[in-house]
């Protein structure tokens, strides 16, 4: 089955700096890669996703890049703000499959 590894497990940045979280996946047939944000005590919520037919996607301060050859994808947050502090999860699935496999999560702390 699919295996998704996520690094780092914790990340501390100063407000205004950029943050990068990286994930690798094992199943070359995976073609959907979402990112979820989970604030303390809350439910996970989708913040951005990318499909294998594109290499990069942006939404305001958030971007995701995908390298299919190397089987890794990354989340980039620019101009970080204290409200970006949360746990971020990457995930991967294949179109014909029925399982979304999550990485172990990254706790991002943005210091004011």
Partner 1 sequence: NAGVTQTPKFQVLKTGQSMTLQCAQDMNHNSMYWYRQDPGMGLRLIYYSASEGTTDKGEVPNGYNVSRLNKREFSLRLESAAPSQTSVYFCASSPHGVSDTQYFGPGTRLTVL
Contact residues for partner 1 (CB under 8 A)? 1, 6, 9, 31-32, 34, 42-46, 49, 51, 89, 93, 95, 97-105
Which of 80, 93 has the CB closer to partner 1? 93
CB 32 within 8 A of CB 94: yes
Q: Which DSSP symbol is given to 82?
A: G
- Least separation in angstroms between residue 40's CB and partner 1 is 12
Residues 6 or more apart from 69 whose CB is under 8 A from it?
none
For 69, list phi and psi in degrees, rounded to 5. Answer: -65, -45
For 82, list phi and psi in degrees, rounded to 5. Answer: -55, -35
- Least separation in angstroms between residue 89's CB and partner 1 is 6
- Least separation in angstroms between residue 55's CB and partner 1 is 18
């Amino acid at each position: 089955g699919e295996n998704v590894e996520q690094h780092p497990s914790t990340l501390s940045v100063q407000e205004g700096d950029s943050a990068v979280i990286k994930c690798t996946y094992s199943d070359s047939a995976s073609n959907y890669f979402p990112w979820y944000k989970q604030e303390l005590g809350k439910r996970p919520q989708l913040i951005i996703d990318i499909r294998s037919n594109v290499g990069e996607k942006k939404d305001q301060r958030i971007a995701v890049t995908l390298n299919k050859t190397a089987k890794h994808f990354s989340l980039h947050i620019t101009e970080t703000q204290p409200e970006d502090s949360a746990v971020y999860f990457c995930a991967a699935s294949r179109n014909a499959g029925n399982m979304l496999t999550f990485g172990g999560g990254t706790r991002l702390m943005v210091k004011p």
